Amino acid sequence: MRKTKNSVSYNKWGYIFLIPFMTAFIIFQFIPLLNTIYNSFFENYLVGLNQVGPTFIGLDNYKSLISNGDLLIYTRNTLILWVMCFVPQIILSLTLAAWFSDASLKLKGTRFFKTVIYLPNLIMASAFSMLFFTLFSERGPINSILIQLGILSKPFVFFSSTIATRTLIAFMNCMMWFGNTTILLMAGMMGIDGSLFEAAQVDGATSTQVFFKVTLPLLRPILLYVMITSLIGGLQLFDVPQILTNGTGDPMRNTMTLIMFLNNHLYSKNYGMAGALSVMLFIITCILSLIIFKASGHDKRK
């Protein structure tokens, strides 16, 4: 009896300890979210130095955002960049993780390799992007190496080619994230019961068969997690293309991502459109995670 009374009086401390988190969350995240949604229903922008609005216009911002066509282009760009980054990344990470956790391979120095492949994840994306911009510029070291090797006769202008620019962005992101993915997948593989591998080997399965028939199916939950976080991260792609193209999304706006679009609206103080775009991004993020969660639910029937 005394104990229950005690624990009840202690439990009010649960609320007290939550106060800082909740206060910060409400002021700096929740109110801004509501404010963003609120702004999306108003006409509010600058023409030269003249402020237009704010006037309530209902869903007009959303309508003009969708009918304009830019949104579609930038969504496409963002998704293309994500796929170009994610596909090689997941293949490389699965391969490396399988090797690192394969006891029969007995690889030496795995800690060194893990340390090295995780390093790019901690690098300032904007500085890394600036580095690539200088290295791959017309008179930069990469062109001079390629010319010295005789591969090129004159400098190749990487940043006026859509494919080259997109590849560079995807490559940088892939480099920055494959180490993280490898370590996550490895943790998942280590969690698999070792006797399953032994049983498969006794049955005469090759290492490729073990990988596709045992490891991969058991990894599904963590693969799903990796894919969701990567997709949500991919939608937020900003620093690398912003710095690489100086915010222009060149060539021909082909590397302009959704967040760069949002950033442009925020800088030009076009708050109505920025609000509508933010809300749409918010909804897209929610829907995408739901789709993936659902899809994995269906797969369980197999």
Q: Using CB under 8 A, which residues numbered 229 to 288 contact other proteins? A: 232, 235-236, 238-239, 242-243, 246-247, 259, 262-263, 266, 271, 274-275, 278-279, 281-282, 285-286
User: How many whole angstroms separate alpha carbon 230 and alpha carbon 263?
Assistant: 21
> Which of 2, 48, 103, 104 is close enough to bind other proteins by CB under 8 A?
104
Q: How many residues bind other proteins (CB under 8 A)?
A: 99
Of 71-79, 128-136, 153-161, 292-300, the window that binds other proteins (rule: CB under 8 A) is 128-136
> Which of 72, 105, 163, 295 is close enough to bind other proteins by CB under 8 A?
105
Q: What SS3 state is found at 115?
A: helix
Q: Which is nearer to other proteins, 200 or 243 (CB)?
A: 243
Q: Which is nearer to other proteins, 170 or 259 (CB)?
A: 259
Q: Is 109 left (phi over 0), alpha (psi -120 to 50) or beta?
A: left
Rounded-to-10 torsion of CA 276, 277, 280, 284:
-170
User: How many whole angstroms separate alpha carbon 276 and alpha carbon 13?
Assistant: 40
User: How many whole angstroms separate alpha carbon 2 and alpha carbon 14?
Assistant: 20
Q: Which parts of 5-64 interact with other proteins (CB under 8 A)?
A: 6-7, 10-18, 20-25, 27-29, 31-36, 39
Q: Which parts of 176-205 interact with other proteins (CB under 8 A)?
A: 179-180, 183-184, 186-188, 191
Of 82-90, 100-108, 153-161, 162-170, the window that binds other proteins (rule: CB under 8 A) is 100-108
User: How many whole angstroms separate alpha carbon 274 and alpha carbon 268?
Assistant: 10
Query: Binding pattern to other proteins, positions 204-233, x when CB under 8 A?
Result: ---x-------------xx--x------x-
Q: Which is nearer to other proteins, 66 or 232 (CB)?
A: 232
Query: Do β-strands 42-47 and 50-56 pair in parallel, antiparallel, or remain unpaired?
Result: antiparallel
User: How many whole angstroms separate alpha carbon 198 and alpha carbon 262?
Assistant: 52
CB of 157 to other proteins, least distance (A): 14
Of 63-71, 74-82, 89-97, 159-167, the window that binds other proteins (rule: CB under 8 A) is 89-97
Indicate if the alpha-carbon torsion angle 12, 18, 19, 23 is positive or negative.
negative
Q: What SS3 state is found at 51?
A: strand
CB of 6 to other proteins, least distance (A): 8
Q: Is 137 in the site for other proteins (CB under 8 A)?
A: yes
Peptide bond into 120 cis (omega under 30): no
Q: What SS3 state is found at 82?
A: helix
> Which of 49, 103, 122, 151 is close enough to bind other proteins by CB under 8 A?
122
